[in-house]
Amino acid sequence: MPVYLRITIGGQRIEISSKRYVNPDKWTTSAQKLSGSSEEVKSLNTHLKNLELQVYEAYHVMIDWKVPVTVSGLKSLLTSDEEVLTSNMLIPIFEQHNKQVATLVGKEYARGTLDRYVTSLKHTKEFLQWKYKILDIDIKRIDHEFIMSYDFYLRSERNCNNNSTVKYLKNFKKIILICIANGWLDKDPFIKYKPKVKEVKRDYLNAEELVLMASKTLISDRVRQVRDIFLFSCYTGLAYADVKKLKRSELVTGLDGQKWIYTSRQKTDTDSRIPLLPQALRLLAQYEDHPQCVDDGLLLPVLSNQKMNSYLKQIADACGITKELTYHIARHTFATTITLANGISIESVSKMLGHTNIKTTQHYAKILDAKVSADMNQLKRKLAVE
């Protein structure tokens, strides 16, 4: 039997063909959709839902245009374009993308990647409500003005900083590229959108602060544990997520007969091979018999990121460190104070950090004025001798 879309306004009603046929025995009247879980059923139900969303979109367009909302006017707007009932709506495409990412978490994507796309979808829905007073939009209506309005919305209404705005729109652009690849969009609305990520000042601990933290007497075992794990990252460059999953099997003997960490970064799935400094080895030895490490085959008993950062603030206060201490500062400290400032080549540092692009590592090198000064003084002495 054919399925029709019935619209009623002020007692007047119209019906528009959905151009779909269904088995009446599988139709659920109360839910206004087919019952079942097959791909065919899901596809048809999605199509019907899209039709419903288009009605609401057309209704809001008429409100925006300040024209009388009548059943005949609504039908005219809905059927003025012969493609209107087969158009592609943004939100289902975005949701399908996120569903695929969720399926591949742990294989091709990290959990954090999925979280960012989920947040991006949430912002997109809220933007549609804020700007257009609609629940969804035909992707063919997404143009340069849409992108610029979205950018403004994130910066103003959501109070996102420049880099967060750029990242959210980068996530949104992936959905647009999917639409272009499938032939649903002819032009890229991002083509004239050229935002730039601004360089962020990266805090790190200097040598004196490292010594102060390592030698500080702390009253709580839990606080000492957090301090030790943080210091381990300072001497290895491993991010929180990578330390948390670090297994005993990833502590190996390298070709030089020394102990190395052979692991992969959760964020980028790139290999990271790090020769361990004596300070890092001593920290590991302290937790060799820790019950959590023994039971789970881990190298360190890492708490949740929220708890780690909370304790780090206490540690900073106890040590008189005024910098806003978060776990990620440990990684910056390794890149600057531990390696680059001591003459380790940027190529080696990039490899140990697991960076996929050496430009990422170069951000650390820019802030080492002390290293630049030391190098220039060495050059001055050399030139003076000559």
Give the end of a domain, one of 166, 198, 230.
198
- For 205, residues 6+ apart whose C-beta sits below 8 A from its C-beta are 213, 234, 321, 323, 329, 333, 337
Instruction: Indicate if 106 and 65 belong to the same structural domain.
Output: no
Residue 86: pLDDT band with limits 50, 70, 90: very low
Instruction: Indicate if 234 and 325 belong to the same structural domain.
Output: yes
Total number of domains in the chain? 3
Average pLDDT, the chain: 86
Instruction: Indicate if 71 and 105 belong to the same structural domain.
Output: no
- Look at phi and psi of residue 162 and say left if phi exceeds 0, alpha if psi is from -120 to 50, else beta: alpha
Of the two residues 86 and 379, the one the predictor is more confident about is 379
Q: What CATH number is associated with residue 353?
A: 1.10.443.10
Of the two residues 87 and 79, the one the predictor is more confident about is 79
* Full-model pTM: 0.58
Q: Give CA–CA dist 113/102, Å, rounded.
A: 9
Sequence letter at residue 231: L
Give the end of a domain, one of 71, 86, 101.
86
pLDDT digits (tens, 9 = 90+) for 211-243: 999 999 988 899 999 999 999 999 998 989 889
Instruction: Indicate if 224 and 372 belong to the same structural domain.
Output: yes
pLDDT at 200: 67
Report if residue 384 sits inside a domain.
Answer: no
Report if residue 284 sits inside a domain.
Answer: yes
Instruction: Indicate if 272 and 212 belong to the same structural domain.
Output: yes
Report if residue 385 sits inside a domain.
Answer: no
Which strand (E) or helix (H) includes residue 271? strand 271-275
Residue 368: pLDDT band with limits 50, 70, 90: low
Residue 85: pLDDT band with limits 50, 70, 90: very low
Give the end of a domain, one of 54, 86, 118.
86
Instruction: Indicate if 150 and 5 belong to the same structural domain.
Output: no
Instruction: Indicate if 229 and 349 belong to the same structural domain.
Output: yes
Instruction: Indicate if 95 and 158 belong to the same structural domain.
Output: yes
Instruction: Indicate if 178 and 102 belong to the same structural domain.
Output: yes
Domain with 23, as residue range(s), is: 1-86
Three-class DSSP category at 61: helix
